[in-house]
Each structure stands twice: as structure tokens, then as C-alpha cells.
């Protein structure tokens, strides 16, 4: 008898939702059979059996959520011993579902339920540092946590962020109690008849968005720099390009396609913007030699960020075709983990909604994100005359630990130059 545990199917996954069981208790299971569909923060994946036997018990029913490493079912393989499989069993996931190697990604092999995470574990100071991730050690320092009493659920007993949830909740509650009573946020309960309130449950994607972006806003020192480009030549060039493309039966390109190309070329000139902060314990940052641009897409399932790999090596037409395909797949939640992994920089464009200017939250582990507003005609002084010209505003949100103000300004200066001289984007 073996326990089948919730696997880690993406680099940002901390829990998964059981979408559908393909096998029921008593059903025979062969190696490679699809046992269950698991909904992650990025996609719905098939989970395949790596060992033959009979499905003995389903522990997590459809629609329920389980953290990584928690048992979700039991398989009778004809042996008396019991072992937990899942996160570390790479053969249990189809090759198509395996996430690409995106650099520094912690993928723990979880073999125990979170229920045992607070069992006392004796360890020396040296062992404590060895088995705790840098983020865990920082949180322990900030909240005065004793890691000797935490059982890690990562590889070799490594303590990961999820193992601290209960201790952190206690530490925060104690800190709040010391501050005294807080001013109430509202008069009365939030869910009441006067407001006509309705509790609408989060889907798995929204839960992960809330957690990750909240953590990004709290832990990453954001700073923002805004620039504006004269987009008159860009709009004119796009019009001419689309006339030629339509004449030859090819699809049109958008301003966003040209913007992706411009950002890719600007990142090539300023490679340290195309970088990631590792941890407070690290003495170096990661500079990425490939320019993989994520494009934020709003879908019925929530915000997703498909990634265009090697964007600096592709033409505007290639970028246009690829982003259209990714946006279509995002609408049906048909994106694979490969298509949403490995981003080094993100563009969030709300111009199509008429938004002129906004700031965006960085998508870790990336070091920056560009928030793009609408391209609108404005009165502009040109010499001694006033003309109506297209203008575009964009704001760079940067991680101040690796990108300082001067570097951000230089990147925006290069981006503006490329957008105002758009022939450089297509030659």
C-alpha cells in the first residue's frame, strides 16, 4: 500500500485542487494510467500512475484543495510497506506536463503531510542553516521563530515557506496583541444584509494571485519610474505595415506587438534589468542571458502570464502570431506549464481599456514589470506650433535590490528612443 501525495506541478504551486478523478476505489491501475486531473495556479494537469495496483481509497474528493505533499489517495500495490509518492515521482507526471528548468526554482520532494510540520526536531545550528531555505531563515529572524521545532517537508527535511504557516500565524497574532486593540475597519460585519453581500469563493488561480502578489508587494522593495513616448511615428508605421500584411493575406500586428519587440531590444542593451534577486543570504544576483517576456492576459479563469521565449530573436510578425495564439489558449485555460514558465520580464498593457497610466506589481522572481497605458492624441508643442500627436505613457516597476533609479531611467530612455524611431524594430 502506498500513499499518493499532491505533487508540485509548477514552479509557483503550493497547493492543488482535485478537478476530476479518472479512477475510483477498486479500479485497476496500470503504469501510465491517468489517475486524476489536478488544477494548479497555472493549468489543469493530468497526473499519471507510476506503479501498477488497485486504487484503494480516495482521500481528497473532487473540488477539494490539498497542499503539496498531502496524501490524496492510496494505491494497493500488493506490498505490505507504505510509502508516500507524488512530488518526487517525476515519472508520475506526463512529459508534456513537466515544467521547464527556469533557473533557481526550489522543487521539494514532499513525503509527509503538513499535519506533522510542527513535530519537534532536534538539530544543530549548522544543520538548521543547511535544511532551511534563505526565505525561511529570513522570516525566522524577523518573527523570532525557532526552526529547531519545525519539521521540514522539503527534500531531506528541508524547511520551506509553507512549513511556517502555523508558526507565523501565532507570531503575528502575538505581535498584534502587544499593539493593543486596533481601530475597526468597518461598522459591523462585512457580510450583512445592509450591504447585500454575497460570499463568492476564490478559484485556485485567484487564491494564488492573491497570495503571490500580496507577498511580492510586502517583500519586494518596489520603486516606479514613468516615461512618455511620442508614438506618432509608431502608429503611422503600424498602419503602413498592416496595409501590406492585409494585402498579402497575413494577420495584422498590434501596438503591443511592437512594444514587446521594443522591450526585448531594450533589455538586450540593459541586461541587468533582465535579472532576478536571489535572497538576502546570497552574494550575487541572477542575470538572464535569454530574454523571455511574459504578457499579462486577463482570462475568464483569472490573470495568467504566458511567456514569449527569446523575444529579442523574433520578428514583429512572429511575436504577433505567438502572442495571439497564447491569448487564445489562455481564454480556454489550455496553456501548458512550459508556456507559462521561465519569464524574465513582464508587460502589462491596459491601454485597450482606456487606462492612461498605472503601476503594476512585480511578478517574482523577475526583477521588473512594465505597465503600459493607452496611446492617445494630445496637444504637443512642436517648435512654435501646437500639434495633436499620439502619446504613450508607461511605468516601470523595479526591484530596488538589484535595479537602481539610474538603471531604470536608462532602460526607459532606450525604450523611448526605440518607440520614437520604430523602423529599428522591423529592420
Residue spans of beta strands (DSSP E) within 163-322: 222-230, 275-276, 286-287, 293-295, 297-299, 302-304, 307-308
Closest listed residue to residue 289, CA positions, set 265, 263, 271: 271
Closest listed residue to residue 55, CA positions, set 29, 34, 80, 36: 29
What is each CA distance from 181 to 143, 170, 188, 189, 247, in whole angstroms?
20, 17, 16, 17, 69
Q: How far apart are CA 128 and CA 149, in angstroms?
A: 10
Do 114 and 67 contact (CB within 8 A), yes or no? yes
b/e burial code for range 29-46 (CB count within 10 A of at least 16 → b)? beeebebbbbbbbbbbbb
Cell of 236: 503611422
The catalytic residue among 22, 143, 222, 400 is 400
How big is the chain, counted in residues?
427
* Catalytic site includes residue 149: no
Cell of 246: 492585409
Do 62 and 20 contact (CB within 8 A), yes or no? yes
List active site positions. Answer: 400
Amino acid at each position: 500500500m502506498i500513499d499518493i501525495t499532491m505533487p508540485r506541478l509548477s514552479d509557483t504551486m503550493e497547493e492543488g485542487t482535485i478537478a476530476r478523478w479518472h479512477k475510483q476505489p477498486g479500479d485497476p491501475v496500470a503504469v501510465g494510467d491517468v489517475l486524476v486531473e489536478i488544477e494548479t495556479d497555472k493549468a489543469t494537469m493530468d497526473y499519471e500512475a507510476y506503479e501498477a495496483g488497485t486504487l484503494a481509497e480516495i482521500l481528497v474528493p473532487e473540488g477539494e484543495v490539498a497542499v503539496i505533499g498531502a496524501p490524496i489517495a492510496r494505491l494497493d500495490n500488493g506490498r505490505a510497506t507504505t510509502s508516500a509518492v507524488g512530488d518526487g515521482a517525476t515519472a508520475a507526471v506526463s512529459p508534456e506536463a513537466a515544467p521547464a528548468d527556469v533557473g533557481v526554482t526550489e522543487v521539494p520532494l514532499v513525503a509527509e503531510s503538513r499535519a506533522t510540520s510542527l513535530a519537534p526536531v532536534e538539530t544543530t545550528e549548522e544543520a538548521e542553516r543547511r535544511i532551511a531555505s534563505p526565505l525561511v531563515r529570513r522570516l525566522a529572524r524577523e518573527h523570532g521563530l525557532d526552526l529547531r521545532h519545525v519539521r521540514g517537508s522539503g527534500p531531506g527535511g528541508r524547511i520551506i515557506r509553507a512549513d511556517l504557516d502555523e508558526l507565523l500565524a501565532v507570531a503575528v497574532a502575538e505581535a498584534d496583541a502587544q499593539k493593543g486593540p486596533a481601530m475597526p475597519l468597518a461598522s459591523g460585519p462585512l457580510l450583512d444584509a445592509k450591504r447585500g453581500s454575497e460570499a463568492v469563493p476564490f478559484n485556485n488561480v485567484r487564491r494564488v494571485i492573491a497570495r503571490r502578489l500580496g507577498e511580492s508587494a510586502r517583500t519586494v522593495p518596489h520603486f516606479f519610474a514613468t516615461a512618455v513616448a511620442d508614438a506618432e511615428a509608431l502608429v503611422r508605421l503600424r498602419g503602413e505595415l498592416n496595409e501590406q500584411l492585409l494585402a498579402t493575406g497575413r494577420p495584422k500586428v498590434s501596438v503591443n506587438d511592437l512594444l514587446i519587440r521594443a522591450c526585448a531590444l531594450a533589455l538586450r542593451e540593459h541586461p541587468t534589468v533582465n535579472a532576478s534577486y536571489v535572497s538576502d543570504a546570497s552574494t550575487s544576483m541572477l542575470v538572464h542571458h535569454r530574454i523571455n517576456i511574459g504578457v499579462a492576459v486577463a482570462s475568464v479563469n483569472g490573470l495568467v502570464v504566458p511567456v514569449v521565449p527569446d523575444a529579442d530573436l523574433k520578428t514583429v510578425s512572429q511575436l504577433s502570431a505567438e502572442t495571439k495564439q497564447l491569448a487564445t489558449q489562455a481564454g480556454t485555460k489550455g496553456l501548458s506549464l512550459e508556456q507559462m514558465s521561465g519569464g524574465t520580464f513582464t508587460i502589462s498593457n491596459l491601454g485597450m481599456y482606456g487606462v492612461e497610466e498605472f503601476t503594476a506589481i512585480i511578478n517574482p522572481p523577475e526583477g521588473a514589470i512594465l505597465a503600459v497605458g493607452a496611446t492617445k492624441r494630445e496637444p504637443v508643442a512642436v517648435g512654435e506650433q501646437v500639434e495633436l500627436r499620439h502619446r504613450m505613457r508607461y511605468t516601470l516597476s523595479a526591484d530596488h535590490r538589484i535595479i537602481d533609479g539610474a538603471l531604470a531611467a536608462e532602460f526607459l530612455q532606450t525604450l523611448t528612443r526605440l518607440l520614437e524611431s520604430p523602423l529599428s524594430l522591423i529592420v
